[in-house]
Amino acid sequence: MSSTPPMSGSEPTLPLPMRSPSARVSLLERVGGPEVVRRVTWEFYDRIGADPLLRPLFPEDMANGREKQALFLVQWMGGEPAYSARYGHPRLRRRHFPFVIDQRAAGRWLHHMAGALRATNVPEPEVAEILAALGPLAHQMVNADQDVPREPLGDVRMD
């Protein structure tokens, strides 16, 4: 599994999916590879598109977000570091500052991710592993009552 570079400042460390020391197969391989992650991402974004709470947080055209999310998840699950090669360090919390995210939104995000994983037939042990790691990550994005910079970053590279 690829490692995540250290972060500076207040950016939290990305929680990685847990993996048994005896496991020789990456989480990415166990879920079925990059194509399955892509299907999960598309299913997830379809669910976001139908959610009245979360839909306003996303741009009208979600194609770029789908691509970035798929690249991120593939890398996060142990695949090629294409996300970082293209966009630099994920710095997810900073990238999400422009959006007012509360605990309810973080919970809805996780709910849709769980549904997308199950709808694309990711095995239940891997669903549990993914959600256990994404739960803290989703809640790190909560910023509703914080004074944070709200200007969008766009596709700037953040190394």
**Predicted local distance difference test score (pLDDT) of residue 1:** 39
Class of domain 31-140 as given by CATH: mainly alpha
Express each pLDDT in 96-143 by its tens digit. 777 878 999 999 999 999 999 999 999 999 999 999 999 999 998 988
Q: Residue 133: CB partners within 8 Å, gap ≥ 6?
A: 15, 16, 17, 18
Spans of all domains in the chain: 31-140
Q: Which letter does DSSP use for residue 9 in this model? A: T
Do the beta carbons of residue 82 and residue 74 sit within 8 Å?
A: yes
Report CA-CA distances (Å) from 48 to 67, 109, 129, 155.
15, 8, 22, 21
- The CA distance from 18 to 29, in Å, is 14
Count CB atoms within 10 A of the CB of residue 93.
Answer: 20
State both tokens at 2.
């690829």
Q: Which letter does DSSP use for residue 17 in this model? A: P
State both tokens at 135.
């739960």
Q: What is the pTM of this model?
A: 0.80
Task: Name which residue leads in pLDDT, 92 or 23.
Answer: 92
Mean pLDDT confidence for 52-67: 93
- The CA distance from 43 to 23, in Å, is 28
Instruction: Provide the H-helix boundaries in 32-78.
Output: 34-49, 63-76
**Predicted local distance difference test score (pLDDT) of residue 110:** 97
